[in-house]
Structure 1
């Protein structure tokens, strides 16, 4: 699925940083409008396009939620283990939950609690675990497996099954990883659109055209929303603004749209006003982790 052209390492790292910083930006921007309807957003904000925090979690401007925090957990686990180690990922999640994070989804909390109590590394299959909680955090796996789609598919599903064991979730995680690989290797919007059309033909549950207009935490609604705004815009800012003004699970749809758009357009495509508002510690860590994960991807060594 990857392109034959091989960009230089600096370009790859730049797109990887764009993806991780973009995820955090989308999370911080979207958290304000989470659980709101488009009509409520319009009444309160007109068009929501500034990182101001607040929202139902009463966040500070630039603060991030579980989407970014769990992604950072996976990145740290890979770095500290010097490779893929599912137990290390679970331990990071456990420490994170014990630190009383500002937000954690119910399915994630249940899976992590089972690990803490029983060292369970795989949740049982469930039709009720088709949420977006595994998809929202898979970016570090995609960065670390760049150049190796077999490892991508294996690791991304392993991390998913810590909390979410569902074929819709698995399918979304693997395909988003493939899109990220394509973008980081220099892919443009047109080729990614063609890949996505093929994916939708194979998995029609995710058909997003015409856009159904739902943006809930159900992984199908999330994927449809991200694809709709990614492929109906041609820059990072418009993609993110459209996504988060759809409301619903806006921190996660925003994070995922920011992740893919960041990989496509790079950090230089992210508005500077948003970069300045992002929590500086988060910015520093995701920027550093992105570079580390690409530099230590076994297929690129």
Structure 2
């Protein structure tokens, strides 16, 4: 629950300052820490963007199919786009149009597709595959990712996010998470981060995750980490969403400030809460727990 609400809260908080520089944020808001709506998308207070909406669409695929079939994922994303979402990334749009025009539900590998669009919507994979084998998790992660993003850096970053969320839900703390990120940076040095803040992160997965890692490991509460991430500016809704799902899994629902949870539109909050519980119940871990309860 904390992971899903954290995703939505991070999305809604960051959207207000998306594409602004840190200096512009300071001039207009001081330190941005309230869910206000507005921004370049002129959102209502508590409204979310494609990060949360695509996650919910992906989660419904698993609940219908008990898997992430590429064709069903592509169709779900296409149906989402038919609803004229408030925002959609260029790579996502291109992948969906390719599916509509050519019937291809997986895009070919492309060195230019190292965006953050697959990582921002990966939470349903983390929840639905809790307790599954690593091979099953990575296969599902790539099945959803390659609908629009097929790139080794995108794959590696997205899979790291999935593993961090799953580990946190199952009780891992920041030291374990730092070790997992160290494995990522050893394999892909592009993701290395340091104390120098990453400012104005673009949609490039490397810049996004540098912000996320700096905020996650540089703070010890959900609120402090999220405020740090979104005030870096740039693609702030996605930085916030990814940080929010990881930190939400780490600190739990009660670790997310009540004012932020209550600021979400009621329909958004309900959708996130409901899907989180349904995905967990459908996961291998959830089924095993239910089986133990039945035998007891």
TM (norm. structure 2) is: 0.94
Equivalent in the alignment of 2:270 = 284
1:298 pairs with one of 284, 288, 292: 284
**Residues 1:249 and 2:238 are matched in the alignment:** no
Residues 1:260 and 2:246 aligned together: yes
Q: Does 1:224 align with 2:216?
A: no
Residues 49-73 of structure 1 deviation map (CA, whole Å, 9 limit, x = unaligned): 0000000000000000000000000
Question: Match for residue 161 of structure 2?
Answer: 176
- Out of 240, 252, 259, the position equivalent to 1:273 is 259
Paired residues of 1:180 and 1:263 also in contact (CA < 8 A): yes
Aligned: 1:88 with 2:72: yes
Counterpart of 1:25? 9
Counterpart for residue 130 of structure 1: 114
Q: Does residue 1:106 correspond to 2:79, yes or no? A: no
1:148-184 C-alpha deviation (Å, 9 max, x unpaired): 2211100111111110111100001111111111101
Q: CA RMSD in A?
A: 1.1
Report the Cα distance in structure 2 between the residues aligned to 1:275 and 1:212, rounded to whole angstroms: 27
Mapped partners of 2:180, 2:148: distance in 1: 28
Q: 1:5 is matched with which residue?
A: none
Q: Distance in 2 between matches of 1:138 and 1:210?
A: 27
Counterpart-to-counterpart distance in 2, 1:182 and 1:58: 36
* Matches of 1:139 and 1:107, distance apart in 2: 19
Unpaired runs of at least 5, structure 1: 1-16
Whole-Å separation in 1 of the counterparts to 2:248 and 2:179: 19
Name which of structure 1's ranges 118-127 and 250-259 shifts more when overlaid on structure 2.
118-127
Residue 158 (str. 1) matches residue 151 (str. 2): no
Q: Tell me, what secondary structure is at the counterpart of 2:107?
A: coil
- In 2, the alpha carbon distance for the partners of 1:199 and 1:54 equals 36
Distance 2:180 2:81 in 1: 36
For 1:59, the equivalent position in structure 2 comes to: 43
CA distance in 1: counterparts of 2:172 and 2:24, whole angstroms: 36
TM-score (norm 1): 0.92
- Judged with a 3 Å threshold, the aligned counterparts in structure 2 of structure 1 residues 80 and 227 are, in CA distance, closer, same or farther, namely same
Q: 1:211 to 1:160 in 2, by over 3 A?
A: farther
Aligned to 2:188: 203
Comparing 67-76 with 189-198, which one deviates more in the overlay?
189-198
Q: Secondary structure at the match of 2:100?
A: helix
Q: Is the 8 Å Cα contact of residues 68 and 143 (structure 2) preserved in structure 1? A: no
* Cα contact 2:16–2:40 (8 A) shared by 1: yes
Partners of 1:211 and 1:225 within 8 A in 2 = no
Matched residue SS, 2:45 = coil
* Structure 2 unaligned spans of 5+: 288-296
Q: Secondary structure at the match of 1:178?
A: helix
Q: 1:233 aligns with which of 216, 219, 228?
A: 219
